[in-house]
Structure 1
Amino acid sequence: MERCSPQLQHENPAVVLATVKVIIKNIDQIEGEAKQVLLAKLSSPLVSLLSTPPEIQYVGLKNIKVILEKYPTILSRELRVFFCKYSDPLYLKLEKIEILIRLVNDSNATLLLSELKEYALEFDQQFVDRAIQAIGQISIKLPSIIKKKLSIFC
């Protein structure tokens, strides 16, 4: 693992993703705090994939979704980097919303609900529909938050 870690900083996104894959496949062999430290090291390289061209971002986002299934808190502090940009293609926006739903928790729900409210005012109907569905999914996932934050939508 120690020999792989420097490759997380590589310029080539394919090398970064391959390194992440190697680490994820072998991380169960590591015990205790060392495992948490290594998982924390994965956050920055995964986020760096979002500064690549859209096609590569898409591959990165798909991989991030898979990683979040096993390690849901690995990117919990990185919510804002998954916010959609106006210039993002629709397929990226839809993937980012999927990831945002997985990352939502009690501490960042208000921020995400405000962002989704803005998305619901966009002109692309498919994007608007997905944003509204995401609000519904969050209300199911965090019912106590939605009751408190209902004023956001008024």
Structure 2
Amino acid sequence: MSKLHFTTKHANEATVQRNWYVVDGTNQTVGRISSKIAAVLRGKNKAYYSPHVDCGDFVIVTNCDKVKFTGNKMDEKVYLNYSGYPGGKKEEIAKDLIKRRPEVIMERAVKGMLPKNRLGRKMYKKLFVYAGDKHPHVAQQPKELKF
């Protein structure tokens, strides 16, 4: 009588299949859409997900200038930047930031949901955010990702 030996197949850089997805941010809530984007960037939508391997896909976010916040966050949410010098703290509310640089809101929301290590920084590089509905990644033939 022989014993059965089963081995678990772990994902690695050679076995990971990366796809391109495009997400439309029109009338989407920032927190809800960014948590789903972060899961796709990590690869949690795949059957062979491993936390120690970057299994994620590339994500293109368009129309990020048309995202919305719940409650009074558009008028009350404060984004902070520090220059590194004494007194170099700069504050900006979401309403002003979305007019000036709408990509930053989505980028910071998704980046905060990724791991804070070198693997998370590698995942973050697969995110592309654009204010309008056009993007330069047509050659990659991205599929539309609906949530």
Q: Normalising to structure 2: TM-score of the pair?
A: 0.28
If you compute each CA radius of gyration, which structure gives the higher value, 1 or 2? 2
Larger strand proportion, structure 1 or 2? 2
Larger helix proportion, structure 1 or 2? 1
Q: Normalising to structure 1: TM-score of the pair?
A: 0.27
